[in-house]
Structure 1
Amino acid sequence: MAFVVFLIITFFIAVTQIVVPYLVKKTVVFGVTIPEQYINDGTIKKLKKQYAISVALLSIVLLTGYSVWSLTTEPKEEQMAMIGVLMEFGIIFISLSLYIYYHGKVKQLKIQNKWVEHLKQVKVTDLSVRNEDEMLPWYVYLLPIISTLGLMIYTMFNYDILPQQIPTHWGPSGEPDAFTEKTPFSAMQHTFLLLIMQLMFFGVHFATKNSGIKLSASNLAASKNRQLTLRKYSSWFLFFVMLACTILMSFFQLTTIHPEFAAGSVKIILPFAFLIIVLVGSLVFALKVGRSDKGLEGTIEDNIMEVDEDQYWKGGMFYFNKNDPSIFVEKRFGVGWTINFANPIGYLIVLLPLIIILIISML
């Protein structure tokens, strides 16, 4: 089971890293702003292709090696998990290294060809675009939170029937493989973690809903469609993941109170189904957003471009802009959102909950 799980996850990571240059905003190439008039430049297309082929070949080598090693040596589940994690990080490290290399190449190409010198940088604002925003309302995210609060109350009322050894971790097969002594804190630990995770999701949604909608002056139609698509599907996907996590962790909590709930193959099927559904959902989200500004040319202005914000993107990945009130902005490498690292509220929404979750897990 561990072999299958890590093979699926690693394959998904590899595919997303391979195609990501073709899914990001089309006027951004390896984290560098390219004017709309030059996005079809032959050299740019060549660099994207080189990156995709390089990551694909290296991923195939790692996946093949992992498969052969797992099937011929019959390692223990812990060994497969350790090597699987190293393989996943290996692919991510390789793709990021190649990204940094091609980021420098595109940046140099942009300077050499003087693509922005003769273009006027224009910032566009459309006050009516908010009326077309289809992000989920904030109160929808309260439903899983209310469910978790109810589960916490239910756990407290059933504390006496809990086993003396409380599960703290479940393996790929759905069986608990780590335990701790029963205490009021350990009995509620997983519900605390779930609640903090839900509050983080709620905060991310609230911040992204109130983030700025950045439009391109050179191609208003394509940029508008991408921004609205990103906002709509990111809110749905975030809620979808939040709901899936709530169902999975609530199941584990209920099986601790009532072990008969885990009878049969449910304890194996549910975590595996969770994995597949989340990965498929991620893929659908990436494709929906990635294709939203492709093939929608509209009217491209020859003498203007969107505001070049390369100065605020460190390495094309980390956004630092004190003048931008947005807490989250669209990623330049990958599909989704990233923090405006110059806005301290972003740290509170994302990093603080993660630190609390880590502390609770260690306790």
Structure 2
Amino acid sequence: MNVVLVIGALNLGITAMVGALLHFLPHPRLSPPSIAFGVRTPPDLADDPVILQQRRRYGSTLLVTTPVLSLLAALAGSLLDSVVPASVGVAVLCFVAVAQWARAHRAISRAKATGNWYGHLRQGAVTDTSLRTNPVRFPWSWTTPSALIIAVTALAGVVVYPDLPDTLKLPRHSFEGTSYREYATTVWTAFSLVFGQVLLTALMAGVVVLALRARPDLDAAQPRESAERHREHLAGTARAILGTATLLNLMLLGLSAAIWSENRSTWLLATIVGVPLAAALAATAHLVLRVGGGASKASAEEAPTGFVRRDDDRHTVAAGLLYVNANDPAVLVPSRVGKGWTVNLGNPRFLAGAAATVAAAALFALL
């Protein structure tokens, strides 16, 4: 019975957590400045009745859908002894959210075109050259915990490797429940999660490097204050990404220990996976709420310049979810969905890098 409750709670928690994130995604606190459902809007129309109406519709739909799907996922997960129902629930939630997002995007775009929202405004762009001459530094000290965890995991693996059985059992989840498949004990299988730790840490560090060099979305109306907020956001984001890498590496350490010891305790596995993920979510939420919006405490009053951000909707596709601009040299650009960045799908450097990444991942999976 305890195992059934744990599996049900895990399905419930995963589905509800994703639903809550999707529900609050269009909130002004979590969205980029002057963006509503992927549509660039003037600052003085951020609370236009059309935008408020679409936010209410989107939020109410997710508010009804999330509890229903969470309960269904919990019930199905308990009956099937599997976390697959949670993935199905998350997929349905994402489909509902994207459909509602697209509807809101169309409605706001129509209102924007009909009302000629940018017709009377002076549009402009601003850049901060100090981001190149005096950039936000990579927080190397935040990579130390991950390096130590990887070293501990590898050392533990070296110690236990001679005493491991001839085969290792790894879990597989399906609608029929959780089963275990046996793999021959080799360096690749025994240390697979250690390799995963190294790859994860390198990937997260690479994301931080790209983020620190990404094109900022500075406010043409108050360039100095927005530049200060951008620097603060960059520093906090870099620490949050590397901190999340530490938590995920800790999770992989626990999973490696469970595989090597052949411990199949559901409570143990739920703790190993659940605690780091919950901590990573809490760290991300703290970053968004503390740095993600509002004026910087360190910034001073700045007189508006009379300009607004440029209307660049023509470079977005798929309801503002994707950015495509072959003339933009930036690989990472500010995202229109939540805080952070997205890739420029029209940049040849990104396309080449994506192809190389896919090839490397395929090679790793083959090995």
- Band of TM-score, shorter chain: 0.7 to 0.9
Moved more, 15-24 or 229-238: 229-238
Residue 324 of structure 1: aligned partner: 328
Are the structure 2 counterparts of residues 344 and 177 from structure 1 closer, same or farther at C-alpha, using a change threshold of 3 Å? Answer: farther
Matched, 1:342 2:346: yes
Report the TM-score, using the length of structure 2 for normalisation.
0.82
Are the structure 2 counterparts of residues 268 and 176 from structure 1 closer, same or farther at C-alpha, using a change threshold of 3 Å? Answer: farther
Q: Answer whether contact 1:133 1:231 (CA < 8 A) is retained.
A: no
State the SS of the aligned residue for 1:215: coil
> How far apart are the structure 1 equivalents of 2:118 and 2:227?
22
Residue 194 of structure 1: aligned partner: 197
Residue 118 of structure 1: aligned partner: 120
Report the TM-score, using the length of structure 1 for normalisation.
0.82
Residue 19 of structure 1: aligned partner: 24
Moved more, 161-170 or 14-23: 161-170
Matching residue's letter, 1:337: W
Are the structure 2 counterparts of residues 229 and 58 from structure 1 closer, same or farther at C-alpha, using a change threshold of 3 Å? Answer: farther
Q: CA deviation at 1:205?
A: 0.7
Q: CA deviation at 1:320?
A: 1.9
Gapped runs of 5+ residues in structure 1?
none
State the SS of the aligned residue for 1:47: helix
State the SS of the aligned residue for 1:124: coil
Gapped runs of 5+ residues in structure 2?
1-5
State the SS of the aligned residue for 1:75: helix
> How far apart are the structure 2 equivalents of 1:77 and 1:263?
13
State the SS of the aligned residue for 1:232: helix
> How far apart are the structure 2 equivalents of 1:176 and 1:244?
27
Matching residue's letter, 1:10: T
> How far apart are the structure 1 equivalents of 2:353 and 2:89?
30
Counting matched residue pairs gives 354
Residue 208 of structure 1: aligned partner: 211
Are the structure 2 counterparts of residues 267 and 66 from structure 1 closer, same or farther at C-alpha, using a change threshold of 3 Å? Answer: closer
> How far apart are the structure 2 equivalents of 1:152 and 1:31?
44
Matched, 1:62 2:69: yes
Moved more, 297-306 or 325-334: 297-306
**Among candidates 2, 9, 18, match of residue 14 of structure 2:** 9
Matching residue's letter, 1:60: P
> How far apart are the structure 2 equivalents of 1:320 and 1:97?
21
Moved more, 196-205 or 345-354: 345-354
State the SS of the aligned residue for 1:179: strand
Residue 179 of structure 1: aligned partner: 182
Calculate percent identity across the aligned residue pairs: 18
Q: Answer whether contact 2:15 2:73 (CA < 8 A) is retained.
A: no
**Among candidates 104, 107, 127, match of residue 129 of structure 2:** 127
Are the structure 2 counterparts of residues 84 and 132 from structure 1 closer, same or farther at C-alpha, using a change threshold of 3 Å? Answer: same
Moved more, 43-52 or 224-233: 224-233
> How far apart are the structure 1 equivalents of 2:76 and 2:198?
37
Q: CA deviation at 1:251?
A: 2.8
